[in-house]
Amino acid sequence: MPETYVNTRIDYAVKDISLAEAGRHQLRLAENEMPGLMALRAEFGPSQPLKGARIAGSLHMTVQTAVLIETLTALGAQVRWASCNIFSTQDEAAAAVVVGPTGTVDDPQGVPVFAWKGETLEEYWQLADRIFDWSNEGFDGPNLILDDGGDATLLVHKGVEFEAAGAVPDADDPSTGSGTVSGSGTVSEEYRIILDTLGASLARDPQRFTRMAEGLIGVTEETTTGVHRLYELAASGDLLFPAINVNDSVTKSKFDNVYGIRHSLPDGINRATDVLIGGKTVFVAGYGDVGKGAAEAMRGQGARVIVGEIDPICALQAAMDGYQVARLDDVAGDVDIVITGTGNTRVVTVDNMLALKHLAIVGNVGHFDDEIDMAGLAAVPGAQRIEIKPQVHEWRLPTGRSILVLSEGRLLNLGNATGHPSFVMSASFTNQVLAQIELYANRDAYPLGVYVLPKALDEKVARLHLAALGVELTQLTTEQAAYIGVPVEGPYKLDHYRY
Amino acid sequence: MPETYVNTRIDYAVKDISLAEAGRHQLRLAENEMPGLMALRAEFGPSQPLKGARIAGSLHMTVQTAVLIETLTALGAQVRWASCNIFSTQDEAAAAVVVGPTGTVDDPQGVPVFAWKGETLEEYWQLADRIFDWSNEGFDGPNLILDDGGDATLLVHKGVEFEAAGAVPDADDPSTGSGTVSGSGTVSEEYRIILDTLGASLARDPQRFTRMAEGLIGVTEETTTGVHRLYELAASGDLLFPAINVNDSVTKSKFDNVYGIRHSLPDGINRATDVLIGGKTVFVAGYGDVGKGAAEAMRGQGARVIVGEIDPICALQAAMDGYQVARLDDVAGDVDIVITGTGNTRVVTVDNMLALKHLAIVGNVGHFDDEIDMAGLAAVPGAQRIEIKPQVHEWRLPTGRSILVLSEGRLLNLGNATGHPSFVMSASFTNQVLAQIELYANRDAYPLGVYVLPKALDEKVARLHLAALGVELTQLTTEQAAYIGVPVEGPYKLDHYRY
Amino acid sequence: MPETYVNTRIDYAVKDISLAEAGRHQLRLAENEMPGLMALRAEFGPSQPLKGARIAGSLHMTVQTAVLIETLTALGAQVRWASCNIFSTQDEAAAAVVVGPTGTVDDPQGVPVFAWKGETLEEYWQLADRIFDWSNEGFDGPNLILDDGGDATLLVHKGVEFEAAGAVPDADDPSTGSGTVSGSGTVSEEYRIILDTLGASLARDPQRFTRMAEGLIGVTEETTTGVHRLYELAASGDLLFPAINVNDSVTKSKFDNVYGIRHSLPDGINRATDVLIGGKTVFVAGYGDVGKGAAEAMRGQGARVIVGEIDPICALQAAMDGYQVARLDDVAGDVDIVITGTGNTRVVTVDNMLALKHLAIVGNVGHFDDEIDMAGLAAVPGAQRIEIKPQVHEWRLPTGRSILVLSEGRLLNLGNATGHPSFVMSASFTNQVLAQIELYANRDAYPLGVYVLPKALDEKVARLHLAALGVELTQLTTEQAAYIGVPVEGPYKLDHYRY
Amino acid sequence: MPETYVNTRIDYAVKDISLAEAGRHQLRLAENEMPGLMALRAEFGPSQPLKGARIAGSLHMTVQTAVLIETLTALGAQVRWASCNIFSTQDEAAAAVVVGPTGTVDDPQGVPVFAWKGETLEEYWQLADRIFDWSNEGFDGPNLILDDGGDATLLVHKGVEFEAAGAVPDADDPSTGSGTVSGSGTVSEEYRIILDTLGASLARDPQRFTRMAEGLIGVTEETTTGVHRLYELAASGDLLFPAINVNDSVTKSKFDNVYGIRHSLPDGINRATDVLIGGKTVFVAGYGDVGKGAAEAMRGQGARVIVGEIDPICALQAAMDGYQVARLDDVAGDVDIVITGTGNTRVVTVDNMLALKHLAIVGNVGHFDDEIDMAGLAAVPGAQRIEIKPQVHEWRLPTGRSILVLSEGRLLNLGNATGHPSFVMSASFTNQVLAQIELYANRDAYPLGVYVLPKALDEKVARLHLAALGVELTQLTTEQAAYIGVPVEGPYKLDHYRY
């Protein structure tokens, strides 16, 4: 584990601070592709709307996140940051943020970051705990959380719960339950680590999270999973502070899912296999936003696309878009590439994998790795796993055929490519920044509950990305605005509008 | 005006009953393209869920509507029908419905229809009144309304209002206001006719609409405009009975707007002009559902498409779909075809039309004819209007150039082509039938208010259209359903899901 | 049969000269869509390169052909015209050409035209004979032929042959053979009529065609069929004058087949059936230029397209373009629409038609009506043919299912729509005019043989259509031209370049 | 320079023989994507048509080439191999071929290969010489050449020429000229090295190439450049043996250019920059086969594509495909990505680069690196070149903007991605093998000259790739074959057919 240095202006824990130079370079290029964030710096830099905000951030520590972090600080915030995944940190980005735009490797002037690529689960939760330790900055804790997946939010809620109980539950007591955590270990193993982390906190300071929760204005949450947790907390009456659901902004859910996947799916297949996509038969499981982007990308490369769906509305959309809609069970023998984008489990079964064409490619751009039944595959008698290269494995099957599994069934656009490109993340992160400003500036307008951003801000996010693409927006006349009953400057649509 | 015959089993008023044979033929073909309605007949024919329902229908009396009407009767309903537009009746469809599947021209056995192509406004409102006259069937009135645009609903609400007042307002008194009516005359002229119609009713029977309203279980409404009126009535406390908003079913708004326009826009341009679309520069004003369908259709024919938008989110979607996004003011001089699909007013200005290329085509697939400033065009000094053929006019402009205006600025997909095809209407009308069943069967579940159909029924509409397209839906396992927290049989998505 | 009037400046035979006004209107609109022809008028009008040319034209007498004819006369030619098909004349176009741009119905000043819609075969060949009768203009005959399908060329060659023999063969003598003629009657019936026509000519003037052939500089031929005949004549040594094969210009074969069909196929299906194409499964037989245009059009409307091919190269192209490639025999049961574009025979068999889905649409955009085995269909016991409307027939089959056959198996883009649009014909006809100029101006450069237009002229045709589409061509620098070894002004490609 | 080992069964010179294991792995995967070559092994393995053939091969020593080499040996040939480019060798593929399918690293049983990644020019030509040294196999030289770019062919021709002259020319004598060579050094520098190489040969054996040329049956050539040289040699009477032009097979030129680029262009951009292509404005210079594939790929990723063309026919095709066609000079300020695919020089000028948007991406998929004026860019006063990562350079310009240049202006699909995928190369290489068989088996049918493969073999190449894509070819009936005048088994098209 890298050392944390507090003998400079800031404390941090990154793999190699000397990577900062390369990282600063990448940040500069990424800034050009993140016009929404840069526009916020230009618009809000002078007024410093986040002055006084202390943000604990838990989100993949990538180059794009680095631009997000420096946008938050450019608007006046103080920030501490950890990653929300043990593998997703880009070490040069972490180092660059620590050094900051004006610092040097020897004199970092940036933001305390606690993240590196390849953390253990123990390290992960210890690092998560560090973003709540604002003693070095002279505070009890943050007043805002920026979360991705809900781990930071979880830590506070469980911390408060256990502090109220006076102790963490016994991990070996079956009644303790499993908590609600995601991550890379098995759930119960990871929950044990969380209990240890919080037990240690409790030992140090029995009211730490309780005090902190009182000071928290709220959280802005990035993902479906995290949002789901928040709605559950709100429903059960356990939510401790208001939350803004960034995930369901149009400029988030309809942008990164569709356009991000359209970009990164072929990218991942290409880097993994170099197989010509043109002419191939590709089965796309799921025709939600992810599946729509995936199917479009594959067709755009000249593949024949077959879609699988369980929802009749989405299935009808796929048919109307010209795709054959079939069951993988029925067509697996004709398929060269299977892509899952469902968020469900065992969408590709062992029987499917046994039926696929020789050296068919199997990959996931949905959610967890169980969209493809990897456990079932590993249990096939005689199945043999051969690493072709990292994140690309041939599985030789007792049928005499093989399949190629990408990223061991995990998200191939992350494992075999580089995830969503900067421009897509700019839309998501501009939502995040606006949500942080909204919570901080209008805290009284948000009683306990879970909110989506007002449509005007959603439209603002879009607006900030138009100039970079050369889009010339038409302006409503006052007559036209009156005619359709909207303000000239928007918002232009009812909340239920589907886009 | 055609005669109404009551000396047979039914009364009716259509242009020429002998057109029924040709109409029955078209119905048979349309039934093959309306699998949702036919599936409802198969599913619900035995149980007769609409037995006892008396439906007053006001909706374009086309071949597709004929299949709708006969589906309602196949499910047990009694029906009386008028069109909701003075021009939209297909006379052979009207005749076919009157004759019915088992009747003959000499012995009509079908449904009382009161509609022909080319009604006057006076005739229109008299015919509308006829669908509320159930004396021939032995009742005071209908117990359900199926409405398109809200004219039938308006008649009842105004009828009740004036019966309560004891008189209709004086049309010449400025305080009377204009009512809220659509239609082809000027508003005040048409409102005067409505007042006359209701005055005559009041004279015949001073409590007629009041009694009728008490017996009305509710209305199902097809369009944006009609739905808008209903929400206004509900907001002002004037709504007299529950309403189901069919327009905002996913299988309505995301289907007829996108896929209907994709079909009928090139069809209308072709029938009107025979001009090659390939290689042309087409400006599509608006990138909502209509604009999305329009842009896709034009690109699919090899046109270069430029999109105009006022909403930054839709503009960003257009850019992400690969379209140039610009203002018509800036690019008109390069444009061969301008298509509006906005629902707004003066989207194409006189200045735009003066700037277009010689013989550029100007057409509207949005809403009212003022999307193109036809009044402004007519007022251009020296502008000359030449009829090339019906619904296609060359306007010679003082610039020395001409433009070709389709359908005099009204909906070209109706005026120059044949509107939405049967398959698209099948989705809309299956929503209508399910909404009628829902209101009739579960009337107690719907207190006064405006409702959308439950998502399960929306999904059912989609489901009923899959087999016809050869779609094989994948079935969730119970494990998968539990994993994502939905019933195996759906509904599968949260209400705010955008598709 | 209409009268021929020679009491005015010109003789002619059209259906109704009063249609000229409507026709002139259509010409004016078509001129805007035929920029190649209009550019030739501008470029060559002053120099009159066709002064002295006497052109006998045999080509569908449509609005587009009218613009062609008036381009030829604008360049100095004298012209006489017949149609090359008994059904294809647009009577208002024929009348308009007779009246001419400066004439009136009472004082026609245009071109002698001999054509109307719905000629008998006897009339057809008598009218063909009239374009060779230049006595009214004071000549023995034309010095150039502009031909489509080769009938005019045939008449001269057979005329010369029989004049040499001193008599036409006995039509009842089996050794006479069948000639090589296309058309709508059975071959032997039509050949008998040709023999009658030529017998009458021989009786009037036993050396008429012999003299005429000596004065003929050459022929320019539009079609594959006509070109095929010319190569046969050249190979057998029977060709009487040089020929330019216009059909194989890139701007002809790669333009009207691909882009013309892309336009007119959906147009024909829509006008015939109003069936939604989106979501349907369409089988396109043949993936040559016609099939490529057909498949693109269907995909552009949201259909799922399956391609049938016999040529492995074209089949591989279809696969690489993302289409499923299958045999109709294997997939007919899943198909909603079958389109043939092969130029072959019995591509859709009776068994295929019996296997199709109920009310599947069957249409041909290839060549002759036997692409679909209409004779076999008519012979199916119990099959019943019902006219839905002109050119649309339901065939009820003993399977209990029906199919819809468009245009009785003939070209649906002609029968159910309006054929190639003007812009596409402009490219073809600009080739024709340049070919006429080339033959007339450089007659000594063309010894007996069949030629394609020099690539420079092919490129010129393209060049003349660019401005209308707003295309800005890049100009080679002299350095660049030298680098790739071409003149700055072209031609730019080797003859075998495939585009 | 690696050692050549002759103490085993074979001599060779590769970088690291121990890479063979990894290489064999990649070969196995590639074989699955090269169905044409594998089908030839199955078809011709038993009959050994290349028994007795001694092939000197000069072609990029990649994994795909390894499959080609082992196909040649599987058909009976003896082979010696060098790469045709100093950078293009994949060292693990070279090692794998040396070891062969049955050998081991300690006991190589494969093919003598002389190639590694990163040769010097001196090494390159010495290694080229080694493929002509068959002494170890007991022969004077090869009897067939398989060439890519013509370097092997050049060596023989120049060798014969200088042997006839008795000496190589003096490299310092200006009258010596520059030869006609491609490659990475400046031409005159490389020609000096060739002269040295041939001088050494002449010193060893003054009749070596003369004897060898007599034994050479012919050459099969892969590329445009090499084919161009061959036609020049034939035209000047200097060609020493027959040649088959593989480049102009349909299954070569219309496949690797279009489908290969469609695949590798976005792949290269993604690996180089991770920039979202969707929504960007991409300028594609050239709309030949390469440009067509490039434009389709960019549109398929949601970019707005503008095409530049100098050829009016290709420009019209681009317009008809829906692209804006403009001059880079006019639109550079709106462009995010510029891609060249022309084969010409200075297509992107310094002025263009100065006008592009900040951080615009500039890349070449055409031919040589001077499509982009890299020399001019380097000469811009104040321009600064910063390596972002290998093959990706930011050029900071005096305008204050930067551009990103990929692969220093050389082919980005090679430099930033992995070139054409295996499936595409399978089509090209199946042509190569059939050409080798054709020359060897039918040598008497090929007098001195340059030939394209008979269309039947071109079709065969396509046919061998269909099953892998699930294509089901339709079979002509004998009636149909007779109708269109082709054999049932093909070839199906005339030679000038354009596909």
Dump pLDDT digits (tens) for D461-489: 999 999 999 999 999 999 999 999 999 99
Contact state of C479 with D314 under an 8 Å Cβ cutoff? no
Contact state of B344 with A320 under an 8 Å Cβ cutoff? no
Of B334, B373, B368, nearest in space to B351 by CA:
B373
Asked whether the predicted pLDDT for residue A311 surpasses 50, the reply is yes
Residue A182: pLDDT band (50, 70, 90) is very low
Contact state of A466 with B315 under an 8 Å Cβ cutoff? yes
Asked whether the predicted pLDDT for residue D256 surpasses 60, the reply is yes
Q: What is the mean pLDDT of residues D313-333?
A: 98
Interface test with D, best of A67, A270, A418, A424 (most D CBs within 10 A): A270
The 3-state DSSP class for residue B348 equals strand
Closest CA–CA distance from residue A325 to any residue of chain C (Å):
10
Closest CA–CA distance from residue D405 to any residue of chain B (Å):
23
pLDDT in tens, A455-477: 999 999 999 999 999 999 999 99
Taking the C-alpha atoms of residue D57 and residue D80, their distance in angstroms, rounded to an integer, is 6
Q: Does C476 touch chain D (CB under 8 A)?
A: yes
Question: For residues B193 and B121, is the Cβ–Cβ distance under 8 A?
Answer: yes
pLDDT in tens, C56-65: 999 999 999 9
Residue A7: pLDDT band (50, 70, 90) is low
CB pairs under 8 A between B and D: 33
Contact state of C299 with B297 under an 8 Å Cβ cutoff? no
Taking the C-alpha atoms of residue B183 and residue B86, their distance in angstroms, rounded to an integer, is 8
* pLDDT for the residue D173: 79
Question: For residues D488 and D476, is the Cβ–Cβ distance under 8 A?
Answer: yes
Asked whether the predicted pLDDT for residue B392 surpasses 60, the reply is yes
Residue A133: pLDDT band (50, 70, 90) is very high
Residue B189: pLDDT band (50, 70, 90) is confident
Q: Which of B259, B334, B418 lies nearest to residue C302, judging by beta carbons?
A: B259
Of B458, B159, B110, nearest in space to A498 by CA:
B458
Question: For residues C245 and C452, is the Cβ–Cβ distance under 8 A?
Answer: yes
Residue D150: pLDDT band (50, 70, 90) is very high
* pLDDT for the residue B368: 85
Asked whether the predicted pLDDT for residue A192 surpasses 50, the reply is yes
Q: Residues, chain D, total?
A: 499
Is residue C27 within a helix (H) or strand (E), and if so which, with residue range?
helix C20-32
Residue B179: pLDDT band (50, 70, 90) is low
Residue D368: pLDDT band (50, 70, 90) is confident
Structure tokens at B297: 């259709």
Closest CA–CA distance from residue C485 to any residue of chain B (Å):
30
Taking the C-alpha atoms of residue A393 and residue A124, their distance in angstroms, rounded to an integer, is 27
**A residues 224-283 closer than 8 Å to D (CB):** 259, 262-263, 266-267, 270-271, 273-281
* pLDDT for the residue B122: 96
Q: Does D178 touch chain C (CB under 8 A)?
A: no
Contact state of B322 with D316 under an 8 Å Cβ cutoff? no
Q: Which of D285, D312, D462 lies nearest to residue C312, judging by beta carbons?
A: D462
D375 to chain C: which residues are within 8 Å by CB?
Answer: none
Of B272, B278, B220, B284, nearest in space to B457 by CA:
B220
Q: Residues, chain A, total?
A: 499
Contacts of residue A134, Cβ cutoff 8 Å, sequence gap at least 6: A54, A80, A140, A141, A142
pLDDT in tens, A234-290: 999 999 999 999 999 999 999 999 999 999 999 999 999 999 999 999 999 999 999
Q: Which of C320, C469, C476 lies nearest to residue D319, judging by beta carbons?
A: C469
* pLDDT for the residue D182: 43
Contact state of C316 with D462 under an 8 Å Cβ cutoff? yes
Asked whether the predicted pLDDT for residue D76 surpasses 70, the reply is yes
Q: Which of D312, D346, D460 lies nearest to residue C480, judging by beta carbons?
A: D346
* pLDDT for the residue A172: 82
When the pLDDT of each residue in chain C is averaged and rounded to a whole number, the result is 95
Contact state of D359 with A32 under an 8 Å Cβ cutoff? yes
Q: What is the mean pLDDT of residues B423-431?
A: 98
CA distances B39 to A303, B30, B63, B74, B468, Å, are 34, 14, 18, 11, 10
Residue B6: pLDDT band (50, 70, 90) is low
Taking the C-alpha atoms of residue B214 and residue B202, their distance in angstroms, rounded to an integer, is 17
Closest CA–CA distance from residue B263 to any residue of chain D (Å):
19
Asked whether the predicted pLDDT for residue C186 surpasses 60, the reply is no
Q: Is A160 exposed, middle or buried (0-12, 13-18, 19+ CB in 10 A)?
A: buried
Question: For residues A160 and A240, is the Cβ–Cβ distance under 8 A?
Answer: yes
Is residue A296 within a helix (H) or strand (E), and if so which, with residue range?
helix A289-300
Q: Does C109 touch chain D (CB under 8 A)?
A: no
Closest CA–CA distance from residue A345 to any residue of chain C (Å):
29
Which DSSP letter does residue B158 get?
A: H
The verdict on whether omega for the bond into residue D491 sits within 30 degrees of 0, i.e. cis, is yes
pLDDT in tens, C110-154: 999 999 999 999 999 999 999 999 998 999 999 999 999 999 999
**DSSP E strand stretches across C175-279:** 218-221, 243-245
Residue B182: pLDDT band (50, 70, 90) is very low
Q: What is the DSSP string of A80-105?
A: EEE-SSSS---HHHHHHHHHTTT--S
Q: Does B349 touch chain A (CB under 8 A)?
A: no
Is B499 annotated as belonging to a binding site?
A: no
- Kind of pairing between the strands at A337-340 and A281-285: parallel
Is C399 annotated as belonging to a binding site?
A: no
Residue C176: pLDDT band (50, 70, 90) is confident
Contacts of residue C354, Cβ cutoff 8 Å, sequence gap at least 6: C380, C397, C398, C399, C401
Q: Which of A318, A344, A492 lies nearest to residue B310, judging by beta carbons?
A: A492
pLDDT in tens, A38-68: 999 999 999 999 999 999 999 999 999 999 9
Contacts of residue B17, Cβ cutoff 8 Å, sequence gap at least 6: B95, B98, B99, B105, B108
Contact state of D271 with A271 under an 8 Å Cβ cutoff? yes
Residue C187: pLDDT band (50, 70, 90) is low
Asked whether the predicted pLDDT for residue A364 surpasses 80, the reply is yes
Binding residues of D for NAD(+): 223-225, 257, 286-291, 309, 344, 413
Contacts of residue D339, Cβ cutoff 8 Å, sequence gap at least 6: D265, D282, D283, D284, D285, D294, D298, D363, D364, D365
Q: D424: nearest CA in chain A?
A: A276
Q: What is the mean pLDDT of residues C240-247?
A: 98
Q: What is the mean pLDDT of residues D125-136?
A: 96
Intra-chain end-to-end CA distance of chain D, in Å: 47
Closest CA–CA distance from residue C250 to any residue of chain D (Å):
8
Question: For residues C247 and C253, is the Cβ–Cβ distance under 8 A?
Answer: yes
Question: For residues A148 and A46, is the Cβ–Cβ distance under 8 A?
Answer: no
Query: Dihedrals φ, ψ of A323, to 5°?
Result: -95, 145
When the pLDDT of each residue in chain D is averaged and rounded to a whole number, the result is 95
Strands, sheet with D392-396, edge to edge from the N-terminal-most edge strand: D324-325, D304-308, D281-285, D337-340, D360-364, D402-406, D392-396, D384-389
Taking the C-alpha atoms of residue C415 and residue C341, their distance in angstroms, rounded to an integer, is 15
pLDDT in tens, B41-92: 999 999 999 999 999 999 999 999 999 999 999 999 999 999 999 999 999 9
Is residue C304 within a helix (H) or strand (E), and if so which, with residue range?
strand C304-308
D67 to chain A: which residues are within 8 Å by CB?
Answer: none
Percentage of residues of chain B with pLDDT beyond 90: 92
pLDDT in tens, D176-196: 765 544 444 455 789 999 999
Taking the C-alpha atoms of residue C246 and residue A134, their distance in angstroms, rounded to an integer, is 82
B311 to chain A: which residues are within 8 Å by CB?
Answer: 459, 490, 492-493
C259 to chain B: which residues are within 8 Å by CB?
Answer: 276, 278-279, 302
Q: Show which subunits contact D, needing at least 3 CB pairs below 8 angstroms.
A: A, B, C
Number of CB atoms found within 10 A of residue D114's CB:
29
Taking the C-alpha atoms of residue B335 and residue B282, their distance in angstroms, rounded to an integer, is 6
Closest CA–CA distance from residue B1 to any residue of chain A (Å):
36
Q: What is the mean pLDDT of residues D71-91?
A: 96
Q: Show which subunits contact C, needing at least 3 CB pairs below 8 angstroms.
A: A, B, D
Percentage of residues of chain C with pLDDT beyond 90: 92
**DSSP E strand stretches across B99-142:** 113-114
* pLDDT for the residue A178: 58
B266 to chain D: which residues are within 8 Å by CB?
Answer: none
Exposure string of A69-78, with b = 16+ CB inside 10 Å and e = fewer, is: bbbbbbbbbb
* pLDDT for the residue A367: 87
Closest CA–CA distance from residue D480 to any residue of chain C (Å):
6
pLDDT in tens, A64-92: 999 999 999 999 999 999 999 998 999 99
Task: Please state the pTM of the whole predicted model.
Answer: 0.96
